[in-house]
Amino acid sequence: MAEAASASCVFCRIVRGHIPSRKVYEDDELVVFHDIHPAAPVHLLIVPKVHVESLISATGEHEPLLGKMLLLAPRLAREQGATDGFRLIVNNGPGGGQEVFHLHFHVLGGPRPWRHMSVGR
């Protein structure tokens, strides 16, 4: 279920403009920006503006938003230089390596070799 924006959530603070980011896309529902610790030449984060803790807590009401996130990933990956494919990662919960408890997709691509991405990033 969607929650109110959290004052302590780093992604909520980025969405509100309280923390700067290198944005590559923004609309009424999503913001996409470069990861500050990239594991690949292209490493974007697709973040919904509504605070949803994780994919585990998403519900049917989020289905259109999740579909939009999935369809946006290949377009932005190509635009940012990942022309030969990309990896999409969604960490969920502590056991899945999630560190920021605001749903987000990692989009990684670009020329190899890539830096190893630890489970918790």
Assess whether pLDDT exceeds 70 at residue 30.
yes
100 — pLDDT class (breaks 50, 70, 90): very high
Mind listing the pLDDT tens digit for each residue in 63-87? Answer: 999 999 999 999 999 999 999 999 9
Pairing of strands 23-26, 105-109: unpaired
CATH numeric code, 10-109: 3.30.428.10
Helix (H) or strand (E) holding 68: helix 63-79
1 — pLDDT class (breaks 50, 70, 90): very low
Spot the catalytic one: 43, 102, 104, 106: 104
Q: Where are the domains of the chain?
A: 10-109
Tell me how crowded residue 89 is: count the other CB atoms within 10 A of its CB.
16
118 — pLDDT class (breaks 50, 70, 90): low
Q: Compute the half-sphere exposure of residue 52: CA atoms within 13 Å on the CB side of its CA.
A: 25
> 77 versus 6: which is more confidently predicted?
77
pLDDT of residue 116: 73
d(CA 72, CA 23): 14
Pairing of strands 105-109, 42-48: antiparallel
113 — pLDDT class (breaks 50, 70, 90): confident
Active-site residue flag, 104: yes
> Which residue, among 40, 116, 34, has the nearest Cα to 85 in the 3D structure?
40
pTM for this model (two decimals) = 0.91
> 106 versus 112: which is more confidently predicted?
106
